[in-house]
Amino acid sequence: MASVNIPVLGGNKIEVVSERRDCATFIMTEEDHTIGNSLHYVLMKNPKVDFSGYSIPHPSDNKLNLRIQTKGETSAQDAILTGLNDIKDIGKHILETFNDAVN
């Protein structure tokens, strides 16, 4: 089983555990249900994703496990990056809508 760390600001926060291109488990440190449920939601809206699920192994363990399986057209790593970008775009839209309403 291959394990790869994805570097992010402040250190390696995401570990990828994968044997296949279309299926992977991502272990995120210092994350909780907020990002887990958001990612699961946007991933399941992606027609290229077959399955997405997440779990928090234990409340005192500061980790989130996210499992992604795609239909083979795209890799699991591409799917999570697309999902994270979708969440960013949704956040931008909400902020712009709020600022327009306030101003």
User: In tens digits, what is the pLDDT along the chain, a chain of 103 residues?
Assistant: 555 555 554 556 888 888 789 999 999 998 999 999 999 999 999 999 999 999 999 988 889 999 999 999 999 999 999 999 999 999 999 999 999 999 8
Query: For residues 74-85, b (16+ Cβ closer than 10 Å) or e, as one string?
Result: bbbbebbebbbe
Domain boundaries, the chain: 14-102
Query: Domain 14-102: which topology?
Result: Gyrase A; domain 2 (3.30.1360)
Q: At what angle do helices 33-45 and 76-102 cross, to 10 degrees?
A: 100
